[in-house]
Amino acid sequence: MKSEPEPNLVRGTPLHEKPLRQGKTFTITYTPKLRYEWDMGQAIGRYLAELKEGRLIARACRKCERVMIPPRMFCERCFRPTDEWVYLKDTGKIFTFSLCYVSWNVKRLKQPEVPAVIEIDGASPGMGILHVVKRIAPKKVRIGMAVQAVWKPKPERIGSVTDIAYWEPIKK
């Protein structure tokens, strides 16, 4: 009869609470300085620069007949460079949303925030921006609802998607 191989065991000394409390176990506290940097590249660099000016810009692929936002210099569908820059309106429709009872800084909320993917008018279906919808009762938000960007004042813009303060329903 063959015996089963013994599983690989990690050898070591288990830690117990009592020696930890008594200071008999060596510990070190370290807060790493983690810095995240992202190379914007040509497409996202231009996109962010246009946001700072209060404009939405996308890239078009003539072969796929798609308009992509956020823009890409290369079409992931047909594997070729995109063709041109296209300015879009700062309006769109709610593609999907959530009622969030925890804030971005992880605090409990009595009234929910409404993060949503906004499908931008003039872009291809499914192309959009994740942002927040305000100035509407959370229970009245609906998929397909028309919304418009509310921009921060120009001196407060930094070249970020947060240059759009929020999206609000378009009043009919």
Q: 82, 59 in Cβ contact below 8 A?
A: yes
- Cα atoms in the Cβ-side hemisphere of radius 13 Å centred on 85: 11
- Residues 6 or more apart in contact with residue 59 via CB below 8 angstroms: 43, 67, 68, 71, 72, 73, 82, 83, 84, 85, 86
What is the pTM assigned to this prediction? 0.76
Kindly state the tokens that stand for 143: 């998929």
> How is residue 107 written in tokens?
């605090």
- Token duo for residue 141: 């938000």
Which residue is it, tokens 């240059």? Answer: 163
| Domain assignment of residue 135, yes or no | yes
Q: Give 10-63 as a 3 state SS string.
A: CCCCCCCHHHHHCCCCCCCCCCCCCCCCCCCHHHHHHHHHHHHCCCEEEEEECC
Answer whether residue 92 is part of any domain: yes
Q: Looking at the domain assignment, is residue 27 inside a domain?
A: no
* Structural domain of 112: 41-169
Query: Is position 74 within any domain?
Result: yes
Q: Is residue 118 included in any domain, yes or no?
A: yes
Mean pLDDT per block of 10 residues along the chain (172 residues) reads: 63 77 79 75 95 98 96 94 98 97 89 96 95 96 98 97 97 80
Q: How far apart are the first and last CA of the chain?
A: 80
So what's the pLDDT on residue 157?
Answer: 98
Is residue 20 included in any domain, yes or no?
Answer: no
Is 18 within a domain? Answer: no
Position 140 scores a pLDDT of 97
Domain-located, residue 9 = no
- Domains: count for the chain: 1
